[in-house]
Amino acid sequence: DGGITQSPKYLFRKEGQNVTLSCEQNLNHDAMYWYRQDPGQGLRLIYYSQIVNDFQKGDIAEGYSVSREKKESFPLTVTSAQKNPTAFYLCASSYPPWTGRDEAFFGQGTRLTVV
């Protein structure tokens, strides 16, 4: 089955450590996204990537980094510079605009807790 997979589902880290969240898709989508969700809040865009080896900052990119070395993969690193890293992180992917295929597909999320 095609889909978008985030791992792990739950992640615990000590304060000051960098941590990398995995996002893999086999939908052959070009665009991929990372969102952050805090309790009772909507989703806020961290980074997005239109194509391999290219990515742009979203609204809250400070303290995060990404890479896009393969079309299928868009890992997110939460660095020690992120002041409040504890949150629910969601990855999404979509077809490029010229395909006429419209919706974004979301993974099931990774809940990161920093202690």
Residues in touch with other proteins (CB under 8 A): 4, 30-31, 33, 35, 41-45, 48, 50-51, 56, 58, 88, 90, 92, 94, 96-97, 102-109, 111
Q: What is the closest distance, in whole angstroms, from the C-beta atom of residue 15 to other proteins in the complex? A: 23
Nearer CB in complex with other proteins: 9/18: 9
Nearer to other proteins, 37 or 80 (CB): 37
Q: Pairing relation of β-strands 54-57 and 110-114?
A: unpaired
Contact present, 82 and 62 (Cβ < 8 Å)? yes
CB of 115 to other proteins, least distance (A): 19
Cα distances (angstroms) measured from residue 28 to each of 4, 8, 46, 98, 105? 10, 22, 22, 14, 12
Residue (33 or 78) nearer to other proteins, CB: 33
Report strand pairing: 87-94 vs 105-106. antiparallel
C-alpha neighbours within 13 Å on the C-beta side of residue 102: 0
Q: With respect to other proteins, which residue has the nearer C-beta, 11 or 45?
A: 45
**Cβ 18 to other proteins, closest distance in Å?**
24
